[in-house]
Amino acid sequence: MNLLCSLIEKNMIKEKILVIGACGQIGVELTLELRKLYGGANVIASDLRAENELLKGTGPYVSLDVMNKEMLHVQVIRQNITQIYLLAAILSATGEKNPHLAWSLNTTSLLNVLEIAKDENVHKVYWPSSIAVFGPTSPKINCPQQTVIEPITVYGISKYAGEFWCNYFNHRYKVDVRSLRYPGLISYKSEPGGGTTDYAVEIFHEAIETKTYNCFLKEDTYLPMMYMPDAIRATIELMESEESKIKVRTSYNISGVSFSPKEIAAGIKKHIPGFTISYEPDYRQEIATSWPQSIDDSVAKKDWGWKPAFDLSALTTDMIKNLED
């Protein structure tokens, strides 16, 4: 990262980055970090929603519907875009309420971006996949990079199809598209967007505001999770790696930490002694049960040096400190 910073300072790297879905849970923090690296003016935030408060004044913002390919194409040409980060999607829990829309947005947005990247001077594309590609027949513990993949949610199906589109555009047209299978992401800056792991963010807000939380998953539901600073660093490290190091052109497994609602509640209780949790599993339990409990990320470690920094104790302390400030 230091080498990258000095090359950027010396103006040896001239990139113009478009972030699509910049007002979402990941987009806000990723945009802010990219702006630190590349300069505010070189990172264009875009979304369907109004500009997020945290982004205001830090760089340009355009209102953009990624489903409108012509509008997207015009922006890419007009702004001389060299890298695209595509974050717009409908997530796992929301996707089950409107499967057709989730399939349509998650796959058409990616095809629009990949086709424009192929035709224009776009050097790199980032598109996240998810642990939701795995299904009940995948191994539960240390789920490997390559294994049985039979997703049961429309979100998982759309992500798995998307992985193969990325692979196809890389092999057939040499589009340098890179991807990570994020686990559930935990952050305090922006709200989660309708995923099955959202409980691990809500629990902190409720613990601080009401000292109680009613969890929509069972107490012993182990899921792979990651603290947002690790996810942002993984994304940027993947994108800044030499092209020759990126061997997986579907999507890389990455792992942070695995825990259950009972374990995170116990960790929160150490900071907020009166905190209590109750359990009322809903439709999201079936989705969570279909996913692995932990992920084997040895291929990402070997190929481009991935290493997580936050364990459950460190992320719990950091979340509470920041939410209480």
Q: How far apart are CA 128 and CA 64, in angstroms?
A: 19
Shortest approach of ligand NAD to residue 15 CB, angstroms?
21
Shortest approach of ligand NAD to residue 193 CB, angstroms?
2
Q: How far apart are CA 93 and CA 285, in angstroms?
A: 10
- Cβ closer to ligand NAD: 13 or 62? 62
- Cβ closer to ligand NAD: 223 or 265? 223
- Cβ closer to ligand NAD: 65 or 263? 65
- Cβ closer to ligand NAD: 226 or 246? 226
Q: Dihedral sign, CA of 179, 183, 187, 189?
A: positive
Q: What residues make contact with ligand NAD under the rule CB under 6 A?
A: 20-21, 23-27, 47-49, 64-67, 87-89, 91, 105, 128, 130, 182, 184-185, 192-193, 195, 197
> Using alpha carbons only, how large is the chain's radius of gyration in Å?
19
Closest CB to ligand NAD belongs to which residue?
A: 24
Answer for the pair 305, 237: CB distance below 8 angstroms, yes or no.
yes
- Closest among 177, 145, 169, 160 to 255, alpha carbons compared: 145
- Cβ closer to ligand NAD: 9 or 53? 53
Which residue among the candidates 61, 126, 155, 252 is catalytic per the annotation?
Answer: 155
- Cβ closer to ligand NAD: 192 or 210? 192
- Cβ closer to ligand NAD: 47 or 297? 47
Q: How far apart are CA 214 and CA 280, in angstroms?
A: 7
Q: How far apart are CA 168 and CA 175, in angstroms?
A: 9
Token pair of 87 as six digits: 């974050």
Does 199 qualify as catalytic in the annotation? no
Active site residues: 155
